[in-house]
Amino acid sequence: MDGAEFFFEGVRRLDWGLGNPNKTAALIAEGMVAVWVLAYIRQRLFWLSAFLFTVLGCCLVLTFSRGGLAACCAGLTVLVAFAPRPWPRRKALAVLLAVTAIAVCAVRMDAHRRYAQGVLREDRSITNRMTLWKAAPAMMADAPKGWGAGNAGKAYMQWYQPLDRTERYRTLVNSHLTWLVEFGWLLRGFYLSGWLAVILLCGAGGATRWAAVPLGIWTAFGAASFFSSVAESPWLWG
């Protein structure tokens, strides 16, 4: 990650000492899902969950991470899908106010301008990722035994990067594709099977609604790992 990317419009992006705002955003996204387990434990703790959700949401804004925002939305979508019905009006209003407060924070910090990049105009961060990701299938096919741990970025730059591009990469800016490229076919199968097992194990408890929180956390983690190489951080696995 380029050092300049630790700032947006002169504002330092929230890091929490993880060395990368995107990793911090992924951790916050997981937390924004996890806090709702309090409401499952006891109904009166809903208000504490809503408060913590709002605080973490404002912290997420301060990371200026689009991948973190997408991961949070993915995790919360799972949580909402399993939420008990019908929703009490005052609790629905509380959630709406929490989301509104986070949106206001985003506008005040001009974070919405970063979120809009790539939609309103071309964004190098997005186009570079797309170029990297398109090379992954060929890299996997060309190296049945894998390119080796830590070599995804080097292999891409040496063999697959367009000649008119000079960007330097350590990974494929995507934890899933990075590891699939570096692994051999056997480990690739284990990796994909592991994610399938997580989905099946968490999803199987959907009838009790308790599985909604862990499934939401795993969904947020998986989504964040798709948009950046964040899964290398042990804090996110914890």
Residues in the chain: 238
CA distances from 138 to 87, 141, 188 (A): 48, 5, 15
Residues 6+ away with beta carbon under 8 Å from 156: 132, 135, 139, 169, 172
Decide if 231 contacts 221 (C-beta within 8 A). yes
pLDDT of residue 186: 97
Surface-to-core class of residue 16, CB atoms within 10 Å of its CB (0-12 exposed, 13-18 middle, 19+ buried)? middle
Q: What is the pLDDT of residues 184-221, one digit of tens each?
A: 999 999 999 999 999 888 876 555 667 889 999 999 99
pLDDT of residue 202: 85
Residue with the bigger pLDDT between 219 and 115: it is 219
pLDDT of residue 121: 59
CA distances from 95 to 14, 75, 90 (A): 24, 15, 9
Q: What is the pLDDT of residues 150-173, one digit of tens each?
A: 999 999 999 999 988 889 999 999
Rounded to an integer, the average pLDDT of 126-142 is 95
pLDDT confidence tier of residue 2, bands split at 50, 70 and 90: very low
pLDDT of residue 5: 61
Single-letter amino acid, residue 164: D
Judge whether residue 182 has pLDDT over 70: yes
Compute the mean pLDDT over every residue in the chain, rounded to the nearest whole number: 90
Judge whether residue 67 has pLDDT over 90: yes
**Global pTM exceeds 0.85:** yes
Task: Give dist(CA 80, CA 99) in Å, integer.
Answer: 14
pLDDT of residue 206: 54
CA distances from 50 to 55, 63, 85 (A): 9, 20, 18
Task: Give dist(CA 91, CA 18) in Å, integer.
Answer: 34
Rounded to an integer, the average pLDDT of 94-104 is 96
- Report the chain's C-alpha Rg in angstroms: 19
Report the range of poorest mean pLDDT among 25-39, 41-55, 81-95. Answer: 81-95
Judge whether residue 177 has pLDDT over 80: yes
Judge whether residue 65 has pLDDT over 70: yes
